[in-house]
Amino acid sequence: MDTKWDALKAECMACKKCGLCEGRHHVVFGVGNTSAEVMFIGEGPGENEDLQGEPFVGLAGQLLDKLLAVIDLDRNKNIYIANIIKCRPPRNRDPLPEEQDACIPWLRKQVAMIRPKIIVCLGRIAAARLMDPNIKITRQHGEFIQRNGVWMMATLHPAALLRNPAQKPDAFTDFLKLRDKIHEVCTHTYE
């Protein structure tokens, strides 16, 4: 696994499949345990992530880490975190469909190697791309569906929670549902 993973990462770090490669400081490949049973997928790097080369390291990331800690998840121990796109769009605009199309094979390969039991989509862009293009995240967050043997759930994006703190209890409830699902289907996440 490690050699295959390292080869994938090296190839991704040199990617020039779309125009976003021109403005990037770092390719943000992902962070965490490649044996994780739970994967979190965000939208794409922002400024801090682009500068540091790691997903969710800004204010939204700090909030994510707190929500994770509530249910005993830790990016350095028992989960893996990645994004739909690996390079920062200018001024943090939404990634274009063609940028997503160019980039998503990297994520698909990461998922194929990690083989998670649960995928949590952080926000609408990830949920629309991976679960349902018409997903209504305000209504459907916290609902699990099964796809090709993988449990999938969308939750509110931590940056949206920073803009609208009134939604934090909803996100909290989603994380508690996630903990229940982990207890149900995972074998070593809480070991």
The stretch among 39-47, 108-116, 160-168, 178-186 that binds ligand URA (CB under 6 A) is 39-47
Instruction: Name the residue whose CB lies closest to ligand URA.
Output: 42
Rounded (10°) angle between helices 97-114 and 2-13: 170
C-beta neighbour count of 18 within 10 angstroms: 19
**Total residue length of the chain:** 191
Report the distance separating Cα 108 and Cα 113, nearest Å: 9
The stretch among 40-48, 108-116, 135-143, 172-180 that binds ligand URA (CB under 6 A) is 40-48
Beta bridge partners of 31: 81
Give yes or no for residue 49 binding ligand URA (CB under 6 A): yes
Q: Residue 109: name the closest of 1, 18, 182 by CA.
A: 1
Give yes or no for residue 42 binding ligand URA (CB under 6 A): yes
- Cβ-proximal residues to 160 (8 Å cutoff; 6+ apart), any chain: 123, 167
Nearer to ligand URA (CB atom), residue 121 or residue 186? 121
Nearer to ligand URA (CB atom), residue 34 or residue 185? 34
Q: How far is the CB of 127 from ligand URA (least distance, A)?
A: 11
Give yes or no for residue 46 binding ligand URA (CB under 6 A): yes
Q: How far is the CB of 44 from ligand URA (least distance, A)?
A: 6
Q: Dmax of the chain from CA atoms?
A: 45
Binding pattern for the stretch 50-89 against ligand URA, x by CB under 6 A and - elsewhere: -----xx---x----------------------x------
CA 29 to chain centroid: 11
Nearer to ligand URA (CB atom), residue 110 or residue 186? 110
Number of H helices, E strands in the chain: 8, 6
Q: Which residues bind ligand URA (CB under 6 A)?
A: 42-46, 49, 55-56, 60, 83, 122, 159
